[in-house]
Amino acid sequence: MNLNKIGLLPRILMAIVLGLALGSFLPLGWVRLFATFNGVFSQFLGFMIPLIIVGLVTPAIGEVGRGAGRLLLATVAVAYLDTALAGLLAYGTGTAFFPRMVEAAQANAAVAQAQVIEPYFTVKIPPLFDVMSALIFSFVLGLGIAYGSPKLPGDSETSSMTSLKGVTREFREIIAKTISAAIIPLLPLYIFGIFLQMMVSGEAYRILIVFAQIIFVIFILHVVILLYEFVIAGGLTHKNPLRLLWTMMPAYMTALGTASSAATIPVTLRQTIKNGASEQVAGFTVPLCATIHMSGSAMKITACALTICLLEGIPHDFMTFLHFILMLGIVMVAAPGVPGGAIMAALAPLGFILGFTPDQQALMIALYIAMDSFGTACNVTGDGAIALVIDKYCRTTQ
């Protein structure tokens, strides 16, 4: 049986189920073996996180460029504000409802002394630099590429290909290949080890009960986000928001099936034009928003992160999460096109802002991927609403 032919989501679900099933009777020696693998893999993941930030964020900022003027600035601003608003919506909803859900699950769960699983050995792989240094370096380098000196008349094509922009693009390919060829294939085994240890330590039941309820809330929030996006777009364009949203359903269903913003661009573009956006504006905003507009992803990550904070007693005050959400909207700009890109980019602020451990980050990966298609569908459908807003802005300012 070729596991490569099985999608990532089925493999993640299989890993969770097997971890929960085998955790009840697998000998401690085997559990320690998987704990050893998880320890080494988490060190490798920690080493890669700053490189992922530099490799993905730098070329993303550099390629936005400076040539489209007001249209570019307006689209980036609207997409970022909507992404941040979705995260704040998740935080506000979570602080209102999640504590009671967590308390109920804590009360129903059996209280047991957690068993500490020690690995056979550990390997330290220190990162080359910390996450904040990686973020600042990415911003400086990306903006330098975007606003750097143009190609001089005497420059050869060869020198252009070996420019700093070319180097960052090649580095992005290396990072993307590392994610797709090394990290993603090993993720199911890593998540299997996490849930295996959770089952042995008695934590699995409590966490699963909570997240069964949280996922339901997340699906409702998806609908709320799409409704307010198209209510705003419909109000500005004087069109029926429900009719606009219904027209975008082919894009939603395509994204649900492919889990890819990039693969859905042709359908999103077609349906956006059907809603009345000009071909010029739609042709610019839809591909750009497929890269920078991540409202559904921001909402999911924020909701899941808040839940883990409540479960583990991690500080979750408003200012901390505001910092997290605003940074999340920036680091996810390079997520589309990379398997699990949004949650991979989010590992950085999850670690250095919220203080998540590698095991908590692994749980976030499992939860995010389990709902990945719905987040992508929310993202790309909202792209159609942003295109209508930008089209209205262009018509007004002409």
> pLDDT tens-digit profile of 168-183?
888 888 887 887 788 8
Q: How far apart are CA 45 and CA 344, in angstroms?
A: 10
Q: What's the half-sphere exposure (Cβ side, CA atoms, 13 Å) at 332?
A: 36
Q: Is the pLDDT of residue 290 over 50?
A: yes
In this predicted model, what pLDDT tens digit does every residue of 339-396 receive, in sequence order?
567 788 888 889 889 999 888 888 888 878 777 778 888 988 999 999 999 888 887 7
User: pTM of the predicted model, to two decimals?
Assistant: 0.74
- Nearest by Cα to 179 from 315, 373, 339, 21: 339
- Comparing 41-45, 236-240, 321-325, the range with the smallest average pLDDT is 41-45
Write out the two tokens for 251.
Answer: 């894009």
Helices (H) and strands (E) counted in the chain, each on its own, are 17, 0
User: Is residue 193 packed enough to be buried (19+ CB in 10 Å), middle (13-18) or exposed (0-12)?
Assistant: buried
| Interatomic CA distance for residues 290 and 247, integer angstroms | 18
Count the Cβ atoms, other than its own, within 10 Å of residue 37.
Answer: 16
pLDDT digits (tens, 9 = 90+) for 27-39: 888 888 988 998 8
Is residue 343 within 8 Å of residue 179, measured between CB atoms? no
Read out DSSP for 174-188? Answer: HHHHHIIIIIHHHHH
Q: pLDDT tens digit string along 133-174?
A: 877 787 788 777 777 655 545 555 444 434 787 888 888 888
Looking at residue 116, the DSSP 8-state letter turns out to be P
127, exposed or middle or buried, with CB in 10 Å at 0-12, 13-18, 19+? middle
CA 23 to chain centre: 29
CA distances from 368 to 128, 301, 342, 346 (A): 27, 7, 9, 11
Better-scored residue on pLDDT, 101 or 83: 83
